[in-house]
């Protein structure tokens, strides 16, 4: 396994703790994925920092994430889901280590640009005074349709999981130019996380050109994450959303090795250490 630089950060993980109840309207039901298991993974990978991201089964109740942040102190940062109508304690959350708010469009199949813009603007307005970023889980079609609007938001935007670019479609696929333009402008970051979500090729080899293009476009706007514990281990239906969904079996050490190989050692240090330090205020 590749030796990672000191201070490396896994910028996209979730914890599922049965002591914290899931939302009734959740799209899926995960099994347990504890903070102790996450620590064991990071020890094996040589990763010393983490960004915990609010997963959709918890809805707008960020209690599990906040509990993990308080246990971890300066080793972790958080990205919450904000309900602007509820007047959440953003100052208190900031002190606990929260540095971003997430809008999850993909899980709930929000594809209409006008519909997507409503929660994006609301969340951005709520967090702007705290210096946070807006993390968005969506695909390239939405990125392309809203590129100008996203660039005008009062906070930086972070796209999950390659903005769901399809690796097999290559660099000429619709929406990819808009994504790279947003990165170059400094308006956005992209997470080079979960290549298994965008590729079915052996060793995800077709992701390599995507990584290289994104890093070449803006090496200071790329981040990396495991997406542990890898939700989505089966197709989701209305009938199975309340039964426990298995986690996908992903080799995180191999995924990290591939990232370093594809990006190269100099850019990898920026992706793993320097960029997270700047964005998440470590």
pLDDT at 85: 80
| C-beta atoms surrounding 7 within 10 Å | 15
Nearest to 144 by CA among 182, 190, 175, 120: 175
pTM of the model: 0.95
Nearest to 256 by CA among 267, 268, 270, 274: 268
In the chain the domains, ranked by start, together with CATH numbers, are 9-280 (3.20.20.140)
Q: Which residues contact 241 (CB under 8 A, 6 or more apart)?
A: 26, 27, 28, 29
Nearest to 256 by CA among 8, 6, 2, 42: 2
Integer Cα distance of 44 and 33 in angstroms: 16
pLDDT, tens digit only, all 282 positions of the chain = 677 999 999 999 999 999 999 999 999 999 999 999 999 999 999 999 999 999 999 999 999 999 999 999 999 999 999 987 888 999 999 999 999 999 999 888 878 989 989 999 999 999 999 999 999 999 999 999 999 999 999 999 999 999 999 999 999 999 999 999 999 999 999 999 999 999 999 999 999 999 999 999 999 999 999 999 999 999 999 999 999 999 999 999 999 999 999 999 999 999 999 999 999 999
Integer Cα distance of 245 and 190 in angstroms: 27
Integer Cα distance of 163 and 178 in angstroms: 11
pLDDT at 26: 94
Encoding tokens for residue 76? 């972790």
């Amino acid at each position: 396994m590749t030796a990672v630089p000191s201070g490396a950060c896994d910028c996209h993980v979730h914890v599922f703790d049965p002591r914290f109840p899931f939302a009734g309207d959740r799209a899926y039901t995960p099994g347990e994925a504890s903070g102790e298991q996450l620590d064991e993974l990071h020890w094996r990978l040589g990763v010393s920092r983490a960004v915990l991201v609010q997963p959709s089964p918890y809805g707008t109740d960020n209690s599990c994430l906040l509990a993990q942040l308080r246990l971890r102190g300066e080793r972790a940062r958080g990205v919450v889901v904000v309900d602007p109508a509820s007047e959440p304690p953003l100052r208190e959350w900031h002190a606990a280590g929260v540095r971003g708010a997430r809008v999850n469009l993909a899980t709930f199949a929000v594809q209409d640009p006008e519909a997507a813009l409503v929660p994006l603007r609301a969340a951005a307005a709520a967090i702007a005074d705290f210096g946070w970023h807006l993390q968005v889980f969506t695909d390239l079609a939405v990125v392309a349709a809203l590129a100008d609007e996203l660039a005008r938001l009062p906070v930086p935007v972070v796209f999950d999981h390659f903005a769901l670019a399809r690796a097999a479609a290559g660099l000429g696929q619709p929406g990819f130019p808009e994504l790279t333009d947003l990165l170059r402008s400094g308006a956005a970051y992209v997470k080079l996380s979960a290549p298994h979500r965008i590729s079915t090729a052996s060793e995800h080899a077709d992701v390599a050109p995507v990584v290289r293009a994104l890093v070449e476009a803006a090496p200071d706007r790329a981040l990396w994450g495991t997406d542990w514990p890898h939700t989505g281990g089966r197709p989701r239906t209305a009938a199975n959303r309340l039964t426990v969904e298995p986690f996908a079996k992903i080799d995180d050490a191999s995924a990290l090795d591939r990232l370093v190989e594809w990006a190269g050692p100099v850019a990898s240090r920026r992706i793993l250490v320097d960029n997270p330090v700047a964005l998440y205020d470590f």
